[in-house]
Structure formats: structure tokens, C-alpha cells
Structure 1
Amino acid sequence: MPKLIDLEQRREEIAEALWRVVERDGVAAVSVRRVADEAGLALGSLRHVFATRADLLTFSTELMLQKVTERLRQVHPHADVEEHAVELLEHLIPLTAASRAEFAVNLALYAEAPAVPEIGIARDRAMAALRQGCERMVHQLGVAAERVELEGRRLHALLDGLALHLSSTDDEGEADWARQVLAEEVHRLHAAKS
């Protein structure tokens, strides 16, 4: 009797193998064969799940974005609105070795958008969601309605800049500095309220 597999679990395992290849060798090294080898699968088994490299890259990008969203949803609200905002924001920048690796893979996958338009669609959807999330956070911090869009975009840009800065270092002092920058920005937004 053939062994039954959980297709969704298999898809995630293959995506994680792709992430390892990208992290170790770069996105140019990604091929269906290389990812199959990394996942310990026969090429035919991988092709049964993902027919093309584009399908594999697209799913891997969307899964990474889904995992970030799930982490954010697990952050429980605090009575202190500033503390809650900082905790959420810390999940959006690469403060640890694991999140730096995730960010590097994410950037590499985004670089494939010209070749795989579906990645560009996922990237654009993620960027819009992040911008909207920043605007909601700014609103919750009490910023006046007419300044929410501007301050939300400013917060989004700060997150992008911190993420790029942190992606190239494993210095714990830099991570502490980034946490402080986020805390100060959240406090500035909450204190301004107009």
C-alpha cells in the first residue's frame, strides 16, 4: 500500500529546503533539482507538488509572508499601548540570527520578481499590508487623523531601514540599538497625538 503524505506539510518542507538553498547559495542556485536534493526527495516527487521553479518560488515567498503574519497574530495586546506596539514592531525587523536569515531569503526571493511576476504580486501585497499595519498602529497610538498616513509611511520607512541595517550585522549591540530606536519612535508618536 502506498505511503500517504500530508501534501501541505510536504509543500512546507520543500519551501524550507528552498530557503536553505537560498540562504547558503543564493537565489540563482535555486533549481527544482537542487531543492529536491536539499529536501531529500526524488525530482519526480517534488515536481508532483510544484510543477515549475516559478511555482516553487511563489509558494515559498507566500509561505514566508504567512509565517510572519502568524507570528504577529500571536502577540497578545498589552495594557500599555506603547509596549504592545514595540513588541509588534520587533517582529518586523531582523533582530536575531534566525530572523536575519529569514530576511535575507525574503530579499533574495523578492529579487526574483522580474522573472516570476507572482512574487512581485506577493511582495506588493505584503508591502501594502505592512503600510496599512503601520497606519493602524499610528492611529492606535493616538496620532491625529490628518497625520496618520504620513506618520504610518514614516514608520514603515523606519522599519525598512532598520531591517536593511540589521541584515548585515550580528552585533547584539546593534539589535539593542534598533530596539531603542523603535521604542523612541513609538513614544514620539504616542506623545505627539496631534
Structure 2
Amino acid sequence: MAAVSPREERKARLAEAVWRIIAERGITAVSVRTVAAEAGMAVGSLRNLFSTQTGLLEFSAELMVERAAARVTAITPSTDAVAYALAAICELMPLTPETRREFEINIALIAETPAHPGLARIRDHAHTQLLDLFTRIAAMLRGETAAPSPASRTNGRRLLALADGLGLHLLHQRASDDIGWAVDIVRDELHRIKSAAIGD
């Protein structure tokens, strides 16, 4: 693993401060001063890293996407395709305190895209990456080794929509409530994709 420079560590600390502020006080509370204070850093030091608040927000959004992708990549491959796919998808749904907060912050950042075109670019790139991941999951379940088939592309899009929709439903319940029902629905859909391939 490559060493992280002190500059990158400070940028990550600021991004984490942005996340905490959004989670606790909402995105309107994010400012150069509040983020610097939350991170225990001087305003001047923050401005040396990010010349604008927009740049700070965009970096925070990009880092969140990178960390989610890293969690998925770190999952150990398994001969059980459904179990492997389920583990990957669960990392992207609000099933733990960490991923629930991440999901909420992501929604708040998406809501800011009209005012920050750079966030729209990050949102669209993240969506493209997710759609590619879910399409590859569908292709894996269907036993495809070449380029994903049209059926896998359709299943991948449906699977992503299902995970996103379930994520929103999970936010409507308390963090301490049962989440097993959502995991069961995703698992059932994965089995459906795998079983349907047999009849193709």
C-alpha cells in the first residue's frame, strides 16, 4: 500500500470534518470556518489545501466514493457467487452506522448539485461506476465470462435500482431497527438472476 502524504492526510481530515458537519447539522452548516474548526485546523491552512468551498465539497464527495469502492474491492472472492455479490452490495447500502451516515451524506451532496456542477459530475461518474459493478455482478451470477449480455445489463440496472430504493426505505426506519428484511430482498433478487440464467 502506498504511503499517504501529510498533505493528503490533512485533506482527508477536512473531508471527514465535512461529513460530520453534514451528518450532524446539515449541508448548510458547511463553511470554510466551520470545517476548519471541526478539523482543528486554522482557516489559512484549509485555504492552502482548498481555495474554495466548492473544491472542498467536491473532494469530500470524491473521497466518499473512493472509500466505498475500496470496501467493495477488499471483499475476499468466494466460490459462492450469491454470497460474494451480497457482501459487495451490502457495503453500499445503509446497513451499518457507517454506511447509513455515508448514504445520508451522499443524498445531501446530491441535493446540492444544482448549485455545484462539480458535484453533479461526481454523482454521474459514481452512478456509472455503480451501474458497471451491478452489471458485472449480474453477469457473474449468469455465468458469463465475456462482455455482459443485454440480459445482464437489464438485471444490473434493476439490481442497482433495488439497492438504491431499499437504501431510502432503510433511512425511514430507526438505525436500531431490523435490517434483515432488506438483505433478504437483495439475496432473493440475486438468486432470481442466477436461476433465470439457467432457463435462457
Q: Give the TM-score category using the shorter length.
A: over 0.9
Matches within 5 A, 1:147-162: 147-162=151-166
Identity %: 40
Q: 1:151 to 1:139 in 2, by over 3 A?
A: same
* Conserved 8 A contact 2:142-2:152: no
| Residue equivalent to 1:137 | 137
Matches within 5 A, 1:10-159: 10-142=10-142, 145-159=149-163
**Equivalent-residue separation in structure 1 for 2:102 and 2:132 (angstroms):** 22
Q: How far is the alpha carbon of 1:149 from its aligned partner?
A: 1.7
* Conserved 8 A contact 2:17-2:38: yes
Amino acid at match of 1:99: T
CA RMSD of aligned residues (A): 1.3
| 1:15-66 CA-partner distances (Å, limit 9, x unpaired) | 0001011001100111111101111111111111111110000000000000
**Equivalent-residue separation in structure 2 for 1:192 and 1:143 (angstroms):** 11
Q: How far is the alpha carbon of 1:114 from its aligned partner?
A: 1.2
**Equivalent-residue separation in structure 2 for 1:191 and 1:168 (angstroms):** 32
| 1:95-137 CA-partner distances (Å, limit 9, x unpaired) | 0122111111111111111111111101000001111111111
**Equivalent-residue separation in structure 1 for 2:150 and 2:61 (angstroms):** 34
**Equivalent-residue separation in structure 1 for 2:188 and 2:134 (angstroms):** 15
| Residue equivalent to 1:189 | 193
**Equivalent-residue separation in structure 2 for 1:79 and 1:20 (angstroms):** 38
| 1:62-109 CA-partner distances (Å, limit 9, x unpaired) | 000000000000001101111111111111100012211111111111
Q: 1:68 to 1:76 in 2, by over 3 A?
A: same
Q: Which runs of 5+ in 1 are unaligned?
A: none
**Equivalent-residue separation in structure 1 for 2:48 and 2:40 (angstroms):** 14
Q: How far is the alpha carbon of 1:167 from its aligned partner?
A: 1.9
**Equivalent-residue separation in structure 1 for 2:143 and 2:28 (angstroms):** 44
**Structure 2 length normalisation: TM-score?**
0.91
Amino acid at match of 1:167: L
Equivalent pairs, count:
189
Q: Which runs of 5+ in 2 are unaligned?
A: none
Amino acid at match of 2:151: R
Amino acid at match of 2:70: E
